[in-house]
Amino acid sequence: MTDNRQATGATEQGGGENTRRVYVKTYGCQMNVYDSDRMSDALAPEGYALTEAPEEADLIILNTCHIREKAAEKVYSELGRLRVMKQQRESEGRSLMVGVAGCVAQAEGEEIARRAPVVDLVFGPQSYHRLPELVQRASAGAKVVETEFDVEEKFEHLATPSQKAVRARGVTAFLTVQEGCDKFCTFCVVPYTRGAEVSRPVSQIVAEAGRLAQAGVREVTLLGQNVNAWHGTGENGREWGLGELLFRLAKVDGIERLRYTTSHPRDMDDALIAAHRDLDMLMPYLHLPVQTGSDRILKAMNRRHTRDDYFRLIERIRAARPDIALSGDFIVGFPGETDEDFADTMELVERVGYASAFSFKYSPRPGTPGAAMEAQVEEAVKSARLAALQELLQKQQRAFNASMTGRTFDVLFEKPGRHAGQLVGRSPWLQPVQVDAPEELIGKLATVEIVDVGTNSLFGRLINGQDRKGSNVGVAIPA
């Protein structure tokens, strides 16, 4: 996944003129999307405005992902293109600064600067608050490689974006509450690239949610590599987990929907399940990766739970919130995976029934225990297993979407839709919903009946011409 989201008008914060342009290309997970916004927030007071056009940028930053080999290799191909662009610029007497951020930067550091001399600065996920200083050093001609690890310091010093910049990013927002991971699944680089688990304090999170709400954000998705491991001292002096934090955020004026991702099955505690039962604002959609349905492979992956633990957990969650939909991540072809192990994964998927899921071929990552394991699975076997699994998951997703026809629920409208007069919003289960609706509904929840289901979207109609709070939005009530 790449995301080239742009925002405009980022000068408000520093009051300076936007004389320079920065282009940020984001690879990978939602946390990188969040971090890219933090980079542009940090650069705004230095006079950098975001641009959607790399050719007009003075600074290009690639915010990279190291989770699978393909994701990391994409960065080097992009750097090849940037080398040509930089040479062209230099022949015209203009300059271009190139930065590599994110997990590839953290994992490979100096190696990037060596392999791709086009790069002026390399900086890991814990250095974004220091970006102005790093850019200054690179402008003075230094090759900057900064991969220090201090997550707490980063959280304390993140730049506060202007209200205008937040508004330009839309009515939904990510909010990082936790970073890093202590689980050490044997396939995964995250504990090495993002470091040990660190939870942000309640006061910082509540303050950021308040600022987002004031700028018009209505839906907040709490982020963390292992988000349900979040913990902290609550405002009542007691130890809080994610469940308690969600109850607190539900009180922030203006926030109408809450979500969180990504969770580990071992960290779904009673308070979090209670939040799904008691908090209507917490959307009934849960990303709860299991990776494999085989107990043998779960153990080899160091996931620290069994398939039966997962089934029991899902039973408890469904008992608390019967309309909850599940999503997951799966890896096929982990070392030692046999046909029987893979059959267990297929059987688990059949039994759980997913609304959506991501599935991947195992990619050995340097430095992780999985990469050194014997019995690596052949590429052709991985491909065949992935195809079979994806067919099943897609069938389940289609069935889940089809079950929406005729249903009525609230949609949070986000932006203009595909056609004139249409808006697109999200269902509680994250599906895009296209509806004929007036523009003033952007940022509002309104009740919609689903009349049709497409491949990637639902189609609905407003059923009463009012937003959920009862204000008339001036539409004719469809017959």
Q: How far is the CB of 310 from ligand SAM (least distance, A)?
A: 12
Count CB neighbours of 8 within 10 A. 14
- Residue closer to ligand SF4, measured from CB, 124 or 428: 124
Q: How far is the CB of 178 from ligand SF4 (least distance, A)?
A: 11
d(CA 41, CA 333): 41
CA distances from 3 to 6, 36, 180, 226, 444 (A): 9, 10, 22, 22, 25
Phi, psi for residue 352 in degrees, rounded to 5: -80, -50
Count CB neighbours of 376 within 10 A. 17
Q: Is 183 in the site for ligand SF4 (CB under 6 A)?
A: yes
Among 71, 188, 205, 458, binds ligand SF4 (CB under 6 A): 188
Q: Which does 294 bind (CB under 5 to 8 A by kind): ligand SF4, ligand SAM, none?
A: none
Size of the chain in residues: 479
Q: How far is the CB of 211 from ligand SAM (least distance, A)?
A: 27
Is residue 437 within 8 A of residue 446, CB to CB? The reply is yes
Restricted to residues 238-267, the positions that interact with ligand SF4 (CB under 6 A) are 264
DSSP assignment, residue 200?
Answer: P
Q: Is 367 in the site for ligand SF4 (CB under 6 A)?
A: no
Among 60, 116, 135, 181, binds ligand SF4 (CB under 6 A): 181
Please classify residue 65 by burial: count the beta carbons closer than 10 Å to its beta carbon, then call 0-12 exposed, 13-18 middle and 19+ buried. buried
Residue 193 half-sphere exposure toward CB, CA atoms < 13 A:
28
Residue with tokens 């600074």: 59
Is residue 178 within 8 A of residue 159, CB to CB? The reply is no
Instruction: With contacts defined by CB under 6 A, name the span among 114-122, 179-187, 404-412, 433-441 that binds ligand SF4.
Output: 179-187
Token pair, residue 333, equals 């072809």
Q: Which does 165 bind (CB under 5 to 8 A by kind): ligand SAM, ligand SF4, none?
A: none
Q: Which does 184 bind (CB under 5 to 8 A by kind): ligand SF4, ligand SAM, none?
A: ligand SF4
- Residue closer to ligand SF4, measured from CB, 68 or 382: 68
Q: How far is the CB of 410 from ligand SAM (least distance, A)?
A: 29
Q: Which does 331 bind (CB under 5 to 8 A by kind): ligand SAM, ligand SF4, none?
A: ligand SAM
Phi-psi region of 477 (alpha: psi -120 to 50; beta: other; left: phi over 0): beta
Instruction: With contacts defined by CB under 6 A, name the span among 151-159, 186-194, 410-418, 444-452 that binds ligand SF4.
Output: 186-194
d(CA 346, CA 57): 47
- Facing residues of 48 across strands? 20
CA distances from 268 to 202, 279, 299, 339, 356 (A): 19, 16, 19, 30, 20
3-state class (DSSP) for residue 48? strand
- Facing residues of 328 across strands? 357
Among 99, 191, 335, 443, binds ligand SF4 (CB under 6 A): 191
**Interface residues toward ligand SAM, by CB under 6 A:** 29, 67-68, 187-188, 190, 225-226, 262, 264, 289, 291, 329, 331, 360, 362-363, 365
Q: Which does 260 bind (CB under 5 to 8 A by kind): ligand SF4, ligand SAM, none?
A: none
Q: Is 185 in the site for ligand SF4 (CB under 6 A)?
A: yes
- Residue closer to ligand SF4, measured from CB, 103 or 325: 103
Total residues in contact with ligand SF4, by rule CB under 6 A = 10
Q: Is 97 in the site for ligand SF4 (CB under 6 A)?
A: no
Q: Which residues bind ligand SF4 (CB under 6 A)?
A: 181, 183-185, 188, 190-191, 225-226, 264
